[in-house]
A and B are shown apart, each in its own frame.
Chain A
Amino acid sequence: MSLLELRGLSRRFGDFVALDNVDLSVQAGEFLTVLGASGSGKTTTLRLIAGFDRPTSGSIWMDGTDLAPLPPFRRPVNTVFQHYALFPHMSVRDNVGYGLRMQKVAPVDITRRVDEALAMVRLGELGARAPKQLSGGQQQRVALARALVNRPRLLLLDEPLGALDLKLRREMQLELKQLQTLVGITFIYVTHDQEEALTMSDRIVLMRAGRIEQIGSPREMYDSPRSRYVADFIGDTNLLRLGGDEVSVRPEHVRLAGAEGGGMPGVVDAVTFVGSTYRVRVALADGQKIMGLQGAPIEVGRAVSVNWDANRAVVVRD
């Protein structure tokens, strides 16, 4: 069942088209990631759904109403901001309870729901602290609790892990995903980090220059990229010209054999140790380069032949 529908959504800033006639249907309960480089329109999409910005044209349907003309404070949607945007003059508790106070929920219920929300993000003891007394990860969790306490049907997250270091980010990715499954709220998650998108999402929307380039599950996006842009953006890949076609082959599907292996002939060009494997670059006879992953090291300058399963090579359009 679709919870939210974007129909013909556009946003122009003068001559610049930030969002170009986008149609998108978001399913209830799914974790949808909007992925893209900066300027691709992903943040614009989020801001239009939240109501911080108005579309130039198009509509945003939820429960049979068009949200587009409504101010943000009348939309059943909450946001987790990129830099948390916690109110610096309020305690953690008051931050979390803010939305409930604005909705004039009874004080008894506010106390209970704030307690629950803080417990959910494991910050039960820190309610009296000021936001600046918390670490980045803790502030992130307060921002999450502040949004989730309102029990929205749709939660928007704008690069919420962008300010955290890599290790903490990986932890929080798992935690967020678990939380989403637990509360069953639909998440629209904006990021430029393709790895994050692959790890967490039910579906990924890859945006490019204000349009949707491809929508699909992480598996589909990785295994069957429709364009060279998608293949290149999501994961590492080799883009090769073979005959008239352009073909994407993932490094892990590239097999190297001895010179008489019967594949494409080439010479090992560079070898890098990356921990679990060796990344081997081979210069093919026609001048193209191809990257492969190998369990064992191989010396530079060695003649090899390169193979892959035909069904692993995806023809991509420009």
Chain B
Amino acid sequence: MTDRRRPWLILGTAIPLVWVAVTLLLPYALLLVQSFWHQGANGRPSHDLTLANYARLFGTSLYPSTILYSAGVALRVTVASLLLSYPLAYLLAFKVQRHKQLLYMAVIIPLWVSYLVRAYAWKIILGQQGVVNGVLLSLGIVHAPVAFFLYSTAAVVIALTHIYTPFTLMPIYAVLESIPPSLREASHDLYGNRWRTFVHVTLPLSLPGVLAGCTFAFVLSMGDFLAPQLLGGNDSALMVSNLVWSLFGVSSDWPLGAAVSVVMLALTLTLLWLAGRAESRWNYTGSSVRKYR
């Protein structure tokens, strides 16, 4: 490299680095520090360091149980997304010959629609005057609109599944595409029928993509707060991020809110780290699902 280009290179590297530091690392650092501050009686935090926030967090059943509840919702969303996206990715990668790009886009395009629009759409579908109730009423299956479709855990799971399925589809599709066709042919050649070829060759080789997709769905839906807010009712289906929101907002208990955030962040990072390790262990096809991370 010539010396003349070096300043530009430094500048080109420095700008994103500074950006990430200011917008990401600095707030995280502040959050971490704040989680050890003391919540004063006047509602204003004092700067003496204490573990009291963490003691409150794990001492009351509300926070651990909400974290567990959120994890439960996230797990259901993950399983549902996986069940939807794996067969679809499989069809796209191996069965669809024509209009492959078109179909792939059909799955991906919803990503460009605002999150809020998609969440509201479910409100319209599941509400008392919604599409589902309309169909049930007109078929005479029910005689009055059913209220529990909306404002329930199920509604949250359905909406989140819809929103995050593309995130599971993409890495699974990518990994399936990266499996050399000759490997599946070799299995057929060695008396493996379609099902056994799937079980012994395709599925094991696609695990890195499955894992990446599941991590996306789990982490993103665990931290979600809008879907529970819009579709989960007032308190029946609140998730951990809703708590964080109200701690920073309504109750203005920033140190405790920070502590909850730090715990969530730690859980998420641990999960990502474990998933990353497993992924690289299972990665045989040299596919690049990790680039999605």
Binding site for B on A (CB under 8 A): 50-52, 71-73, 77-79, 81-83, 85-89, 98-99, 102-103, 146-147, 150
Known: A87-B183, A89-B204, A89-B284. A99 touches B191 (CB 8 A): yes
**What residues of chain A lie closer than 8 Å to B205, measured between beta carbons?**
88-89
Q: In the complex, are the beta carbons of A88 and B196 less than 8 A apart? A: no
- What is the minimal beta-carbon distance from B105 to any residue of chain A, in angstroms? 25
Q: In the complex, are the beta carbons of A73 and B183 less than 8 A apart? A: no
Known: A88-B285, A89-B205. A98 touches B187 (CB 8 A): yes
Known: A81-B182, A85-B180, A85-B182. A73 touches B189 (CB 8 A): yes
**What residues of chain B lie closer than 8 Å to A150, measured between beta carbons?**
190-191
| Leading 6 A-B pairs by shortest Cβ distance | A99-B190, A88-B284, A85-B182, A102-B191, A72-B188, A85-B186
Q: What is the interface size of chain B, counting residues whose CB is below 8 A from a CB of the partner?
A: 20
Asked whether any CB of chain A lies closer than 8 Å to the CB of B174, the reply is no
Give the docked Cα–Cα distance between A98 and B284 (Å). Answer: 18
Give the docked Cα–Cα distance between A71 and B180 (Å). Answer: 19
In residues 76-105 of chain B, which contact A (Cβ within 8 Å)? none
**What residues of chain A lie closer than 8 Å to B230, measured between beta carbons?**
none
Q: In the complex, are the beta carbons of B189 and A78 less than 8 A apart? A: yes
Of all chain B residues, the one with the shortest Cβ separation from A78 is B189
Of all chain B residues, the one with the shortest Cβ separation from A79 is B189
Known: A87-B201, A88-B284, A89-B205. A102 touches B190 (CB 8 A): yes
Q: In the complex, are the beta carbons of B192 and A73 less than 8 A apart? A: yes
Give the docked Cα–Cα distance between A127 and B187 (Å). Answer: 19
Give the docked Cα–Cα distance between A89 and B200 (Å). Answer: 10
Asked whether any CB of chain A lies closer than 8 Å to the CB of B235, the reply is no
**What residues of chain A lie closer than 8 Å to B282, measured between beta carbons?**
89
> Which one of B185, B192, B204 contacts A98 once the chains associate, using CB atoms below 8 Å?
B192
Query: Looking at B188, B191, B284, which has the most chain A CB atoms within 10 Å of its CB?
Result: B191
Give B162-204 as 1s and 0s: 1 = Cβ < 8 Å from A's Cβ atoms.
0000000000000000001011011111111100100011001
Q: In the complex, are the beta carbons of A52 and B185 less than 8 A apart? A: yes
Query: Looking at B185, B189, B191, which has the most chain A CB atoms within 10 Å of its CB?
Result: B189
In residues 121-137 of chain B, which contact A (Cβ within 8 Å)? none
Give the docked Cα–Cα distance between A206 and B187 (Å). Answer: 30
Give the docked Cα–Cα distance between A103 and B192 (Å). Answer: 8
**What residues of chain A lie closer than 8 Å to B285, measured between beta carbons?**
88
26 CB contacts below 8 A, A to B, read: A50-B185, A71-B188, A71-B193, A72-B188, A72-B189, A73-B189, A73-B190, A73-B192, A78-B190, A81-B185, A82-B182, A83-B180, A85-B182, A85-B183, A87-B183, A88-B205, A88-B285, A89-B282, A89-B284, A99-B190, A99-B191, A102-B196, A103-B191, A146-B190, A147-B190, A150-B191
